[in-house]
Structure 1
Amino acid sequence: MLNKLNLLRDKIDILDIKLLDILSKRLELVKKIGLIKNKYGLPIYVPEREKYIISLRKKEAKKKGISPNFIKDILYRIINESYFYEKTKKFKKIKPNFTEILIISHNKKISYLFKKMLTITGYNIKYIKEKNLNLNNINYLFKNIGMIILDISKSFFEKFVNKLFLLPKNCILIDLSPIKEISITKILKIYKGPVLGLYYFFDYQKNFLFKESIIYCYGRKKKYYLWFLKQIEIWGLKIEYMNLIEHDQYVFFIESLKYFFTLIYSTFLIKTKISFNKILTLYKPISYLNVFILKNFFLKNPELYINLITDSKNNIENIQKHLDYINNLSFLINEKKRIKIINIFNKINNLLINSK
């Protein structure tokens, strides 16, 4: 019996080695694809191609009696690893002769990531923290720049915005603030050049941006910066256009509301003296996601998160609506209105099914 078992295990070992050889050859082909994409300025991530591959291989797996979801999981791991192999040392530079890009930062890591990606792509970057800027002597910074990226605090923005008229003609201004209806509106009143709003929905601690999403909003003179959106796509980002109002609505539901309820949840934990460590022990693996949110919320400068919650008048009104919903649900629970509660669950379930 042991001899038969060992014989079968030996055959599996041989197949594992062959599998590694196949993966190695696949990754070598992926590197060659990366060089071609870099030469012609093609994006690393092509969602249609990935979706097609996954769908096709799932059908083939089913014919062979293999779980389609098993193959789907394996292929996602292989494809994600492939993106790193496909990446070359440099991305194609859309504007080879572009002048200097100035990044002003409130010590946020998203600024470092933009600096890193632009530098890898071959652009000339000047990076400065807002705390090191003297607003009374700022003209020298603006000299000969072709783009300025602003990732600054609310308090600094209120002072800095009045200096934007000093920017060179047709210098591209990129605003990374979360509430566009406030920032872009103020910028457009003072600066007459091209303005683009960007906001990110990804972990900015990542090294690269494959498959991540970024929203863009047109401010003014979009013909001057359409190339930059193309450059972002080459990095592997998915870009999504929204107008200013729509942008702020989605930021509220994705960011502001999340942080508001994180604050409520954490405050409730403190008041009830529940052990946070015990929650982590009992609540894995979902707890890792909650820990990530909590650490980003409480272990960093709270100003950004507080601004996300309170800056927009619409946010405050929407939060009040959510509190009304909570009170209504609390009433239904207290009154044991089971049928009405079940109906709410069913509506949510239908929404999730239809959104697949």
Structure 2
Amino acid sequence: MLNKLNLLRNEIDILDLKLLNIISERLKLVKQIGLIKNKHGLPLYVPERERYIINLKKKEAKKKGMSPNFIEDIFYRIINESYSYEKIKIFKKIKPNFSKILIISHHKKISILFKKMLTITEYNVNYIEEKKINIDNITSLFENIGMIILDISKFFFKKLIKKLCLLPKNCILVDLSPIKEIFMTKILKIYKGPVLGLYYLFNYQENYLFKETIIYCYGRKEKYYSWFLKQIETWGLQIKHMNIIEHDKYIFFIESLKYFFTLIYGIFLKKTKISLNEVCILSKPIYYLNSLILKNFFSTNPKLYFYLIENSQNNTKKVKKYLDYINNLVILIDKDKKMKIIDIFNKIKKLLITNIEILR
């Protein structure tokens, strides 16, 4: 019996080695694809192609009597690894001979990421923190720049807004603020050149940006910065267009409300004196997922969360509505309205399954 077992294990070892060699050959081909994409300025990440590969392999797995979910997991891991091989050190420069880009930063991390990506794409970038700027002598910073990227505080914005008229003609102004109704609307009133709004929906601490999303809002003179949006796509980012009103509405739900909910959850944890170690022991691995969400939440300056809610009157009203919904649920529980709660649950379930692909 042991001899037979060892023979079978040896056969598995041989197949595993063949599998590693096949994956290695696949990654070599992926590197060649990366070179072609770079030469022609093509996006690193093409979601349609990825979905096609995964769906095809799931169908083939089913025919062979294998679990489609198992094969989906394997190929997602292979494809994700492929992106890191496909990525090369220098991206194709969509706009050769473009003049200097100035980044003024308050929130360092995202601005440094933009600086990094623009630099490895061989653009001329000047990065400066807002606290180091003498606003009265800012004209010298504006000389010969083709683009200015603003990731600045509300306090500095009030001082800088008056100086935007000094920018070179047709200098592209890129606004990274989370609430466009405050910053971008005021910018458009004063600055008459091309204006683009961007907001990142990704973890800027990651080395790779593929599969991440950035929202863009047209401000004015889109033809001047359409190349920049293409450049962002070559980095592997997905770009999603929204108008200013849509942008602020969705950012509230994605950022503000999520943080508000996490804050309430954290307060409840603290007040009930729940042992997090016990929770960890009882609920692995889902606890790790919840812990990761909490870790990311507390890794960001709390002023940002408050800023997202405080700086929009509409957002404050929405938070109050959110609390009203919680109170209404509590009232239904107190009154033992089981069927109403079950009905709400089923409606939410239907909404999620209908709209979120991963749950289907």
Q: Offset at 1:346? A: 0.4
Q: Which whole-Å CA distance do the structure 2 matches of 1:143 and 1:278 have between them?
A: 60
Correspondence 1:182 to 2:188 = no
2:76 alignment partner in structure 1: 76
What SS is found at the alignment partner of 1:9?
Answer: helix
2:128 alignment partner in structure 1: 128
Q: Which whole-Å CA distance do the structure 1 matches of 2:45 and 2:206 have between them?
A: 16
What SS is found at the alignment partner of 2:182?
Answer: helix
Q: Offset at 1:229? A: 0.4
Q: Offset at 1:102? A: 0.7
Q: Offset at 1:162? A: 1.7
1:147 alignment partner in structure 2: 147
Larger mean CA deviation between 156-165 and 47-56 belongs to 156-165
Larger mean CA deviation between 279-288 and 76-85 belongs to 279-288
Q: Which whole-Å CA distance do the structure 1 matches of 2:319 and 2:347 have between them?
A: 21
1:302 alignment partner in structure 2: 302
Q: Which whole-Å CA distance do the structure 2 matches of 1:309 and 1:289 have between them?
A: 25
1:40-86 CA-partner distances (Å, limit 9, x unpaired): 11111111111111111111111111111111100000001001111
1:160-203 CA-partner distances (Å, limit 9, x unpaired): 22211111111101111111111110111111110000011111
Q: Offset at 1:273? A: 3.2
What SS is found at the alignment partner of 1:211?
Answer: coil
Q: Which whole-Å CA distance do the structure 2 matches of 1:158 and 1:84 have between them?
A: 41
Unaligned 5+ segments in structure 1 are none
1:285-321 CA-partner distances (Å, limit 9, x unpaired): 3333433443444344222111112111110111111
Correspondence 1:183-202 to 2 at 5 A: 183-202=183-202
Larger mean CA deviation between 119-128 and 157-166 belongs to 157-166
1:233-270 CA-partner distances (Å, limit 9, x unpaired): 11111111000000001001110100111122222233
1:17-60 CA-partner distances (Å, limit 9, x unpaired): 00000000000000001001100111111111111111111111
Tell me: CA distance 1:197–1:65, structure 2 relative to 1, closer, same or farther (3 Å): same
1:70-114 CA-partner distances (Å, limit 9, x unpaired): 111000000010011111121110011001111111143111111
Q: Which whole-Å CA distance do the structure 1 matches of 2:30 and 2:186 have between them?
A: 46
Tell me: CA distance 1:86–1:299, structure 2 relative to 1, closer, same or farther (3 Å): closer
What SS is found at the alignment partner of 2:136?
Answer: coil
Among the aligned pairs, what percent are the same residue? Answer: 73
2:162 alignment partner in structure 1: 162
1:254 alignment partner in structure 2: 254
Q: Which whole-Å CA distance do the structure 2 matches of 1:111 and 1:286 have between them?
A: 33
Larger mean CA deviation between 77-86 and 108-117 belongs to 108-117
Contact in 2 for aligned 1:256/1:309 (Cα 8 Å): yes
Correspondence 1:236-251 to 2 at 5 A: 236-251=236-251
1:5 alignment partner in structure 2: 5
- AA paired with 2:19? L
Unaligned 5+ segments in structure 2 are none
Q: Which whole-Å CA distance do the structure 1 matches of 2:68 and 2:300 have between them?
A: 42
Tell me: CA distance 1:289–1:190, structure 2 relative to 1, closer, same or farther (3 Å): farther
What SS is found at the alignment partner of 2:181?
Answer: helix
- AA paired with 2:148? I
CA RMSD of aligned residues (A): 1.4
Q: Which whole-Å CA distance do the structure 2 matches of 1:299 and 1:229 have between them?
A: 29
Contact in 2 for aligned 1:149/1:176 (Cα 8 Å): yes
Tell me: CA distance 1:33–1:257, structure 2 relative to 1, closer, same or farther (3 Å): same
Tell me: CA distance 1:299–1:81, structure 2 relative to 1, closer, same or farther (3 Å): closer
Tell me: CA distance 1:281–1:182, structure 2 relative to 1, closer, same or farther (3 Å): farther
What SS is found at the alignment partner of 1:91?
Answer: coil
2:172 alignment partner in structure 1: 172
Correspondence 1:62-101 to 2 at 5 A: 62-101=62-101
Q: Which whole-Å CA distance do the structure 1 matches of 2:309 and 2:290 have between them?
A: 19
Tell me: CA distance 1:147–1:268, structure 2 relative to 1, closer, same or farther (3 Å): same
Tell me: CA distance 1:135–1:54, structure 2 relative to 1, closer, same or farther (3 Å): same
- AA paired with 1:236? G
Contact in 2 for aligned 1:259/1:309 (Cα 8 Å): no
Contact in 2 for aligned 1:93/1:121 (Cα 8 Å): yes
- AA paired with 1:11? E
Q: Which whole-Å CA distance do the structure 2 matches of 1:18 and 1:296 have between them?
A: 40
- AA paired with 2:262? T
What SS is found at the alignment partner of 2:198?
Answer: strand
Larger mean CA deviation between 37-46 and 293-302 belongs to 293-302
Tell me: CA distance 1:279–1:156, structure 2 relative to 1, closer, same or farther (3 Å): farther
Aligned length, in residue pairs: 356
Correspondence 1:24 to 2:24 = yes
Larger mean CA deviation between 247-256 and 305-314 belongs to 305-314
Tell me: CA distance 1:189–1:212, structure 2 relative to 1, closer, same or farther (3 Å): same
Correspondence 1:217-296 to 2 at 5 A: 217-296=217-296
- AA paired with 2:342? I
What SS is found at the alignment partner of 2:66?
Answer: coil
Q: Which whole-Å CA distance do the structure 2 matches of 1:296 and 1:106 have between them?
A: 20
- AA paired with 2:127? Y
- AA paired with 1:99? S
- AA paired with 1:269? L
